[in-house]
Amino acid sequence: MSENRPTHTGLEGRIAEIIMEPLEAQGYELVRVQVMGTETPTVQIMADRADGASFTLEDCEAVSHLLSAVLDVEDPIDSAWTLEVSSAGIDRPLTRVKDFNRYAGFDARIELNFPGPGNRKRFTGKLVDADAETVRLRLEKDEIVELKRADIRKAKLVLTDALIAFTTQPNVTN
């Protein structure tokens, strides 16, 4: 697993593989690919600016035009589909090691693919840190759990006043 890139599997992994290099070449980073729906699926791409500046409407347009062209050529989906490009937002999904570490000290919800420590699948607590293999989360009563990144189904920040204050500071990616 790469520290600066999210991990995807299946169709989402194929799409991430197709778009990663063109996206990075234009100064953006992939946060997440999600394919929703079956008949006419929506391909949702969340991105950040590599320079750490806020992701603007103009960035959404630029990424959308770039990825539309790339995906039209590669055609990873057999049927008609819709492309949706957005910023990760304030209560963003956590998909990369750098995301977990950047938001250390903030509240997060993490859901595992199958039961982990304490035979639980869902955890809410303060992010401690992460490395290529593990995310550490401080639960109530100061208990720290170690969760395998490979087992994480989804993780996202919890919207709090502290998070809003942090993300509205200059030079902070939203």
* Alpha carbons 81 and 46: distance in angstroms, whole number: 17
Q: What is the mean pLDDT of residues 6-15?
A: 89
Sequence ranges of the domains in the chain:
10-87, 97-167
Fold category of 97-167 in CATH: SH3 type barrels. (2.30.30)
- Residue 13 backbone zone (phi > 0: left; psi -120 to 50: alpha; other: beta): alpha
Percent of the residues in the chain that have a pLDDT greater than 70, as a whole number: 95
pLDDT digits (tens, 9 = 90+) for 97-137: 999 999 999 999 999 999 999 999 999 999 999 999 999 99
CB 154 within 8 A of CB 88: no
Give just the sign of the alpha carbon dihedral 32, 17, 69, 24.
positive
| Statement: the pTM of the whole predicted model exceeds 0.75 | yes
In this structure, what are the phi and psi dihedrals at residue 126, rounded to the nearest 5 degrees? -95, 130
Out of 3.30.70.260, 3.30.950.10, 3.30.300.70, 3.10.180.10, the CATH code matching 10-87 is 3.30.300.70
Token pair in block for residue 96:
């990369």
